[in-house]
Structure 1
């Protein structure tokens, strides 16, 4: 039994299998060193690192939940849905994630073309140097190339100047829909969680619609304490969790020691009056 709220659980981070810079094995070691008691690797639209992560966690004596982070389009905004505790070999989920990844290559070429028009040549080839999995080339890989080549000082500056809507390297992508993402997770015996809801630029009505539809499709959790939430957002989404009857999750969204503002295992604990998401998944903890 580890359903207590005062638990150093970190259920959101990324490895080289998607857009992180560390291997699953190195992340497991870092999590253990930082006092994490329950860990999940949640690579974007990919489960290819799950068996490695589970084995590495076991070697570290670290409790583990399978994870992924699925990109969906909702109200013309990209929203991320974290899946936890699912069967990583589930055929329907693997097929759905494969299809979701499929558009990234063409999108990356279009991003490179947009950057070339403002004098930044060879961005696609440059981004590929930072890619562990070519199927998952993303804006983050382009950002690392632009920092390496001296165009910007840090990745956040790249996003601000080149890779957000209205900027030269921005290309939208049509991801999975919310219903499919939630159902892939739940059909594979996992729990679906809305990732870092404070990041989305929704009106109050749009946000209410997101939570309402998410729950109607079988979603059961929301990230309350995350690396991109403010203290005020911890409070806001704790109340949202209670309003919608959702379990609360906690995760740093760690990508890299050089880029991430929040390290693995360094977040505040969940508020005590919430149901932790791991309480729904005790039989799936490895």
Structure 2
């Protein structure tokens, strides 16, 4: 599964960053954010998890490596989840405040929001991760590499909600509002079509109302698939991790597998629902298959 995550997310990153024919839109920035978090988690966290599982849960590396592993695990897991929440919030903003969204949301805005997400994760997690590495985890068995959540119960409860649980809560709760606003906006636009034709300034620069409607429907399609898959793949792990502040328990294998499956599913969903990515992938493949001497 981890190899699949690396290959799929790595391939999508290559398409997004090297395809000259692909015009990077603001939404593509959020796609890069999700894909990058998935890829970094797969190469920095998953190898240690696999080796530890092979050795029956016994940590065979040094204490310093354990600290690196835990920092990477907590920060990148939170990034994976909050990157999805950022897409949901982006769609909520676009569908509820469309004019304000088109006037203020630019590629730079999307980049800054993604950077802000990473900074917020660090602000939430580091105040507990640093004391854990320097004191609380030293009280535990060295054969196990795990954050001593019981040693910082207040921080553990707060961080689990703010860095992890809140992301899934936003994704699930915001989705019905987005669908309702989308259907209402679509109905309103349909009944007032003659009026909107006389107001081209209400659309984004260089885009027709029909193009905006098609793009909005496409984004909702993506959001629907992501919301359903996230709810299925993340909920078991969220329930288990909510118990950790009160009791150190082993994480069930199926919860980790579902979480990893979502990371492998993300690039597939983006490729299936975004035709411009498929077109760029075809161009890259065709360009790579052309013989230099042809």
Normalised by the length of structure 2, the TM-score is 0.30
Normalised by the length of structure 1, the TM-score is 0.31
Larger Rg: 2
Please identify which structure carries the higher strand content: 1
